[in-house]
Amino acid sequence: MTNIEKKLKAIDQEIDQFRIRIKNSEDLKSVEGVFDTLTLKTLYHLSNKGYIDALGGVISTGKEANIFHALGCDREIAIKIYRISTSNFRSMHSYLIGDPRFKSIGNDKRSVVFTWTKKELRNLKKAHAAGVRVPEPYIARNNVLLMEFIGEGELPARQLRETPLTSDQAQKVFDTTVRYVRKLYRANLVHADLSEFNILMDGDEVVFIDMGQSVTLDHPNAREFLMRDIYNIVRFFRKKGVDIDEGVVEDMILRS
């Protein structure tokens, strides 16, 4: 047996060892339908390093990534895995190309997806440090991001759009949302895709998620992205009975 054949056999054995940790056949089917050998190797590496003890069910399936519930280090975690083969390469590249933190990006899809995953880790860390409630990030490797699971007992927290709110509750959630956008802005960051789909309600607590596309203020489209975030916030909360104007929200965020 050649060295290459031995290496391939070792990789196959590693992947098989990881597969047995998956809870049931439906979860295995989901993994096999989305992830390639490289992704499974990455998961195995993180598992072998002690970050993942057991992989659970699918939390959500998005356009670019799947999120899984998992256990690791005596805590619940969320594993976000970007799909290399089906990710929107052009869209990702447009958010990366103007970000001075990521000047050297390969033109192949794998390099872009790996950079995107690293970018979300850095954005979450930056938001967390600024006092914005986000899933606490743990580690990123290749196209895999490990972070805090927002929810309880394997049940993810509700998206804001799914959460019933009284008028008073809507006002409080709105106030927190604007305060968080302002904190991001002061930390030199714009969410760039903020809406009722990317805000979770962990009990009464507002949590911002999906920050892979978030950009620094020196990105050429940062102001445009900020205004879009503001528009989405105002549009949603007006429907919930909050009397607010886009210009007022803009002033609240931009004032020193």
Locate the domains of the chain by residue range.
Answer: 9-152, 155-254
Tell me: the pLDDT tens digits for 50-75?
898 888 888 888 778 889 899 888 89
For residue 186, count other CB atoms closer than 10 A to its CB: 13
Tell me: the pLDDT tens digits for 206-219?
999 999 999 999 99
- Ramachandran area for residue 65 (φ above 0: left; ψ -120 to 50: alpha; else beta): beta
Looking at per-residue pLDDT, the higher value among 118 and 11 belongs to 118
Domain 155-254 has CATH 3.60.21.10: no
What residues form DSSP beta bridges with 202? Answer: 205
Res 64: pLDDT: 83
Res 7: pLDDT: 47
pTM for this model (two decimals): 0.85
Helix (H) or strand (E) segment spanning residue 165: none
Tell me: the pLDDT tens digits for 128-184?
999 999 999 999 999 999 999 999 888 899 999 999 999 999 999 999 999 999 999
* Catalytic residue status for 202: no
Q: Of 193, 202, 204, 229, which one is the catalytic site residue?
A: 193
Q: Would the pLDDT of 77 be above 80?
A: yes
**Cα–Cα distances in Å, from 27 out to 80, 102, 150, 234?**
15, 34, 20, 38
Res 213: pLDDT: 93
Average pLDDT for 94-113: 75
Superfamily of domain 9-152: Phosphorylase Kinase; domain 1 (3.30.200.20)
Q: Would the pLDDT of 81 be above 70?
A: yes
* Catalytic residue status for 210: yes
Q: How many helices (H) and strands (E) does the chain have?
A: 8, 12
**What gap in Å lies between CA 156 and CA 77, rounded to an integer?**
11
- Please answer whether residues 159 and 173 qualify as being in contact, where contact means their C-beta atoms are separated by less than 8 angstroms: no
- Ramachandran area for residue 224 (φ above 0: left; ψ -120 to 50: alpha; else beta): alpha
**What gap in Å lies between CA 224 and CA 214, rounded to an integer?**
12
User: Hey, do 9-152 and 155-254 end up sharing a CATH topology, with the first three levels equal?
Assistant: no
| DSSP structure class, residue 160 | G
Tell me: the pLDDT tens digits for 104-123?
676 778 888 888 999 999 99
Tell me: the pLDDT tens digits for 219-242?
999 999 999 999 999 999 999 999
Q: Would the pLDDT of 29 be above 80?
A: no
- Please answer whether residues 208 and 198 qualify as being in contact, where contact means their C-beta atoms are separated by less than 8 angstroms: yes
Q: Would the pLDDT of 5 be above 60?
A: no
- Please answer whether residues 76 and 146 qualify as being in contact, where contact means their C-beta atoms are separated by less than 8 angstroms: no
**What gap in Å lies between CA 9 and CA 35, rounded to an integer?**
19
Structure tokens at 188: 């030199």
Average pLDDT for 28-38: 61
Q: Of 27, 210, 218, 229, which one is the catalytic site residue?
A: 210
